[in-house]
Structure 1
Amino acid sequence: STPNRTHADVGVALLERGVHVLIEKPIAATVADARRLIDAAAANGRVLMVGQVERFNPAVEAVKRAVADEQIISIQITRVGPFPPRMGEVGVVIDLAVHDIDIIRHLTDSEIIEVQPQLARTRAEREDTALLQFRLANGAIAHITTNWVTPYKTRTLQVATPNKFIVADLMTRQVTEYFGQQPDGSYSTRGVMSWPAEPLKKELEAFAHAIRSGEPPAVTGEDGLRNLEVALRCLGDS
């Protein structure tokens, strides 16, 4: 949970001393630093897990279950809110959109191959508004709207498949599925069960499980690297 620029130095030092590491997103400030962490974990036989906490949001898990046997056509994510005074080193792409890049990869089990970013800076030193469009290797398309200029927080996820349209509020964790379109254009709806859980606790439990079992962690260093690479492409830094 140190500043991004120190993730690699602190993480590598711990890994080389035999300490398993859970590192906050983004995995590091640069791709080279991310690879240093991944290589150090492999060389020392330690667990390196990246803290993409939205993976453990019950609403995201509910959507993942709902689309398990579906072909995803598109994903739309909105993550907006007021400017956080604590921010200084990064803009909305690294601070906020990295969450959603990971959600997109997680839901589709595919990689982002095309990036079309639109960035704006109004009050911050770095971008505080971003509209990001993606195409994935499996053909799905995705869009992220994120900013620090909205006076209230919104966290929504929408997923379209040939048979369903699923809407999730990542804050209230309410998930609704629209299905069975009729000739008049109407749909049937049903709530999708989103089991109560604290995402941070589930994240820590997953980290502990990886250590105890020897299984790969829920969010690997490679996941963190892929997320960072996409985010840097959005910023034109790759």
Structure 2
Amino acid sequence: MTSANRLRNALRSGASATGSWVQIGSPEICEIVARCGFDFVIIDMEHGSFGLDVAVNMIRAVEPHATPILRVPDAGRTTILKVLDAGARGIIVPNVSSRAEAEAVVSASRFAPLGTRGACPATRATGHGLAEWSGFVAASNDEILVIALIETPEGVSRAAEIVTVPGLDAIGIGPFDLSQAMGYAGDWRHPAVQAKQAELIALAREAGREALTAAFDSDPAILSGRVAELNRLGSRLVAVSGDRFALTSTFRAIAMATANPT
């Protein structure tokens, strides 16, 4: 770990942070998103069509400008180890549905004595061996963000247990997945879904944890109000739009505006 986690420092200072998603396996898209002024970029290995060999270059593209966060494809210990060794400054783990699963995720993300993360002095995260080991361990245990994504009916019902797991920094609340879990078939704007999201945000904040939320709109005017509302509810981490959303909405608008010009 060669530099401080800027996102972690912002949260400690009481600030809110805004980021976006990248699902297309492109370091250049990551660089564009990061350079636009976001605080963090979520590199989505769960729904993105790329593996670690591409993700590591996406991390490199984000690092000079924003904090790279990896949404891992699963909660496997080896998966978590590899993305942290590659230089991710935080992880989002999908489908966390119990306290035991959250505890396992935290353990895999922390070095002993706080956890069971595998130790190797020569990884990309250590500057390929240039970092002083004891300082690297201390910084990693202190700065890596661990976020459990609650998106199943079981996870929602056990959220009060999950948010109290020591070492868990935040819960992620995916409104689209939440709508599926609640039986609203992707209608993430449904009042019941929004009410449950507000309830989960409050639960996290009461437990002293952060809440990562998402707003899928790409219209700046809509997003401005939506982010302000999520911040008001207590979510200090908001991921907006995304590469696919932004590209499709922009190119669709351009195509419609230029089709069959008169």
TM-score (ref. length: structure 1): 0.27
- Report which of the two has the higher share of strand: 1
TM-score (ref. length: structure 2): 0.25
- Report which of the two has the higher share of helix: 2
